[in-house]
Amino acid sequence: MTKKKGPKIDLKNIKMKTPMKWPKKPNNKFSPFFVLFWVAILLAAMLPYIQTGVQVENTDVALSQLQENYLEWEYSEILINGNKAIATLSGSQVDENGITKQQTQTAILPDRDSLSDLWLKAEWISTTVEVKDLTSERFWQNMIPTILLVVLFLIIGMFLISRMWGMANNAMTFGKSRAKLFDQSKDKILFKDVAGAEEEKEELQETVDFLKNPKKYRDLGAKIPRGTLLVGPPGTGKTMLARAVAGESNVPFLSISGSEFVEMFVWVGASRVRDLFTNAKKIAPAIIFIDEIDAIGKKRGPGTGGWHDEREQTLNQILTEMDGFDNDTNVIVIGATNRSDVLDKALLRPGRFDRKITVNLPNQSDREKILEVHAKNKKVEKDIDFKALASSTVWFSGADLGNVLNEAAIITARYSEKAISKMRLQQAFERIVMGLSKKSLVMNDQERKITSYHEVGHALLGKLCLHSDPVHKISITPRGGALWVTWFMPERDAVLTSKAKFLDELCVLYGGRASEEIFFGADMITTGASNDIERATKIARNMVMRYGMYEDIWRENFAGERWMWNYTGVEWDMPVVSQETQKAIDLKVQQILKEQYDRAIKLIKENKDLHIKISEDLLEKEEIDREEFDAYFA
């Protein structure tokens, strides 16, 4: 019996009824510049018809008075309009508000044959006498500004209507999915392209096999795995793993962030979820990848947003869509989050996200492979030891390792070098971990000397304590947020921490303060040990209250925190500790810290000469690396 292969998917010919693209902006010819242009034109046309601060005062007089004033040259002009003579008095006055006042006199004219009958046309009079029909002139003078204003409001109104129409068109697209569809013919990623994460790949292999051969599982009565949840710190490659599943299965990959479901409109999120799942079913088998799913999948409960806010409606729609899958629906939902503890239980129950895969930070072997992958597209010198760099980058994620090589390439380009060298890689590593060196911050000679002895105190005790991590570098050059630093670098990934290591760490932390007291006196101790004391206190309290490492306090957790929901939000409920127990805890913490401080004093005094030699060399060099430091003990 031959095995029937699934249909081959041609992504280039996939057609969706609802294309997954951003909505185009409306082609709006009434742009702001268009409206401003016509507003300026109309205002310029209205200027001749706008009265510019002139106030006219009119007085009715007898015709004889008007004739007498005319002959005495008191008028600048006379306008004859029908049976009225309107005379403007010469001169004008400007009041304190800047308004020009003009006075006119109006007289009623009798029937006449000509102006000479009224004695208003004497050639030796300079007054202008003119016959005009002011009725029609004033009509248009009043109407033109009104007409222009109407046209102006029509243009602005058409602009606003067109904008509202464009917003309405955009609103119709708010409910459409914004998922990005990756074309596997161009953007294909396989498991071999993802360095490390071998256990995670093995768990995801079943999902790949199901998408390739679903009939094999259905014949056995196995239900389709609806969803897979990838949980892990940022930068561990959760998105790359999801894309690799799609690449290995050769199925379409639809990617969207959880934050893109939620908008200010209450119906948008649920509508986008429906559209996303509808499109995925049309091109099934397919994978839906929801990054940062905690943006919409947080635990539901009473709070300021109530029970029916937009996020809850979106979550409810996702749950409904995943419940709607049947055995013939070859759609897998892969979610990614950094915080699975905040997700709603309904989202994690069987039938929705059936699988939970933890993507941990890479171990040393995986870090070496990741560094080699990131170095493929960069010019790197052949003598670089990626294994040594991998051992130094404990707790680095894949994204952090990529950033180290990228920073090394930037530094190399700054100095116009042709390939990334070991020195540039080390500079990039230190820049990311410790920050840039601050050469502008200058200490005086006394401060530099105290700082040098302080840091060598940490380093010397780190070398003498058997359970301490090796010293990577000592520096009295200010870097980033630290004024100076003694950098300890673990040689391997540690899973558990012993009581002996904690005690050695306390001794090393007190090495700086102990050195100041021994070499400069108790009156010259500085504030440089403030962070050391804070960290030491926290470690000692955790040993007593959290880890149960001392029998006289008994093995009970006194530092645990419990949280619960209430109607005003989340409240932290600290466990109740009696006064007697709290006093015993405080005394035990003080005893531990005093013992390790006395131990630091004793070890430094026993190696006083070596301490002075290293400190003086550090004053001269400002930085001592691991090889130089180990040479003092050879």
Q: At CA 550, angle to CA 546 and CA 556, rounded to 5?
A: 40
Task: Give the span between the Cα atoms of 604 and 433, in whole angstroms.
Answer: 29
CA 515 → CA 59, 75, 462, 504, distances in Å?
Answer: 104, 106, 13, 16
Catalytic residue among 407, 455, 505, 516: 455
CA-closest candidate to residue 493, choices 344, 608, 397, 393: 393
Query: Is residue 504 a contact partner of residue 466, using CB atoms and an 8 Å limit?
Result: yes
Give residue for tokens 């009434």: 30
CA-closest candidate to residue 220, choices 209, 233, 228, 208: 209
CA gyration radius for the chain? 43
| Contacts for 42 with CB less than 8 Å, ≥ 6 apart | 148, 151, 152, 155
Give residue for tokens 């016959």: 131
227-231 sheet: strands from edge to edge: 180-182, 253-257, 286-291, 331-337, 227-231, 353-358
Strands (E), 542-604: 562-566, 569-573
Query: Is residue 353 a contact partner of residue 228, using CB atoms and an 8 Å limit?
Result: yes
In Å, how far from its chain's centre is CA 324?
A: 35
Residue 460 exposed, middle or buried by CB count within 10 Å (0-12, 13-18, 19+): buried
Cis preceding-peptide flag for 362 (omega within 30 of 0): no
- Please write down the long-range contacts of 542-545, taking CB distance under 8 Å and 24 or more positions apart: 543/499, 543/502, 543/592, 544/585, 544/588, 544/589, 544/592, 545/585
CA-closest candidate to residue 517, choices 435, 457, 432: 457
Query: Is residue 616 a contact partner of residue 470, using CB atoms and an 8 Å limit?
Result: no
Residues in the chain: 634
Query: Is residue 258 a contact partner of residue 292, using CB atoms and an 8 Å limit?
Result: yes
CA-closest candidate to residue 78, choices 107, 48, 114: 107
Is 455 labeled as catalytic in the residue annotation? Answer: yes
Give residue for tokens 């009715």: 60
Give residue for tokens 């979550």: 315
Query: Is residue 269 a contact partner of residue 261, using CB atoms and an 8 Å limit?
Result: yes
Task: Give the span between the Cα atoms of 504 and 603, in whole angstroms.
Answer: 12
Residue 51 three-state SS: coil
Task: Give the span between the Cα atoms of 221 and 516, in whole angstroms.
Answer: 73
Residue numbers annotated as active site? 455
